[in-house]
Each structure stands twice: as structure tokens, then as C-alpha cells.
Amino acid sequence: SQELEQSPQSLIVQEGKNLTINCTSSKTLYGLYWYKQKYGEGLIFLMMLQKGGEEKSHEKITAKLDEKKQQSSLHITASQPSHAGIYLCGADIGSNFGNEKLTFGTGTRLTIIP
Amino acid sequence: EAGVAQSPRYKIIEKRQSVAFWCNPISGHATLYWYQQILGQGPKLLIQFQNNGVVDDSQLPKDRFSAERLKGVDSTLKIQPAKLEDSAVYLCASSLWTGGDTGNTIYFGEGSWLTVV
């Protein structure tokens, strides 16, 4: 079984609508990373969360890590075509601060329709 | 600041042939990773280097895959002989190593797409 579960696997959203992607683990997440990937390209770093209850925002994207550090959510407000792509959560499950080793979820494919 | 550089971007080879991928990390980044991403899946760690030493290669299929980082800077990942199931994107990533209690951002390159036919 996957150590990191992402949901949903795919999402089709009308432009301007809000959406949420979830990332869940049965283990404690010592560092939770969100990346975006477009087809044919590498991973673009979005945000990193470490502390339970932490929340970070960048432009219209907000990421949260729950108090137990086993679940994270990525929320996009007023979605735009530029938000389309694959969103991946990656986590360090081994408390290797300073020497991280990431395990990834399978990704969420986001499509924005006009 | 220059990002993680990888080459070649695309490679098509026949099964049983060999292939090599090159990665140059961000300047000053001591930690270098090679990940394999099969279509429709998340990246899977193959090997992690700290300077020129191997930290973790537990998921590297050592019968056919090898990687080196001789001078602690750039790195090469080789596959010999290639199998059909090796078709994937090979992603190189790098980060600073602090060894402390704060996390480090891990930056990825554009990836090298391998198709084995």
C-alpha cells in the first residue's frame, strides 16, 4: 500500500472555482512538500510544511498540515488555467531534518475548464 | 541562480542497450537525488548522495543500475542493460545539507525521458 495517499486522483474544475487536494499518511510526516508538475517537465516546488497546524500561502494557493502531522491539504482559490497540472505531495517520513528523503503520493491531475 | 541541469532530455533506446544520464545540481548543494517516475505514478527514490558518498541506494536495482558522484558535484546514472519496464522519467534533485532540525527545500530538474523499445 502507498505510504502517502492523495485524493482525488483527478479533478476537473471550472475556471474561477475553488478546489482542495488532500494528502494523507498513517505515519507522522516530518516534512511535507507540495510540488506541481506539468507534462514533460520537472517538479516545481510550491511549499514545505513542517510543524503541526502550520499553514502557508503563496498567491492563490494555501497549504496546511494538520496538528497530528498526518494529513495535508492544498487549497486553490479562484482557479485559473495556469493552475492546471499534476500536484504531488512528498513527505519525509523518517525525521531526517537537514537530510530529507521524500516519499511521494501518486499525484492529482487538475484540469481547469473555461 | 541556475537550477538543476539534466541531460539528455529525451532518449529512445532498444532493450538490452545502455544509457547514461547526467545531472549538475544547484551550486553548493551537497545532497543529490535520483528519482524514477513511471507514467501515472509519483517519483520513487533510486539513490541519494551526500557529497560524493551514498546515503541510501536501497531501491536502486543494482544488477542493472549504477550511479556515481565522483567529485561531489555532478552525477551520472547509468542503466545497462535496459529493460522495457525502465521506460520512465529520471529526475535529478538537489538540496542543501544542514544536518540540523530545519527542513530543506528540494529542487528538481526537468527530467530525462527514457523510452525503451
- The pLDDT profile of chain B, 117 residues, written as one tens digit per residue, is 679 999 999 999 999 999 999 999 999 898 999 999 999 899 999 999 988 899 899 999 999 999 999 888 999 999 999 999 999 999 999 998 665 556 678 999 999 999 999
Select the residue of B33, B44, B98 nearest A98 (Cβ to Cβ).
B98
Binary contact (B103, A42; C-beta < 8 A): no
Handedness of CA A46, B26, B2, B11 (dihedral sign): negative
Report the CATH architecture of A4-113.
Sandwich (2.60)
Q: Any idea where the domains of chain A sit in the sequence?
A: 4-113
Q: Where are the domains of chain B?
A: 5-116
Q: Please tell me if residue A11 touches chain B, with a CB cutoff of 8 Å.
A: no
CATH class of B5-116: mainly beta
B46 contacts B60 by C-beta, under 8 angstroms = yes
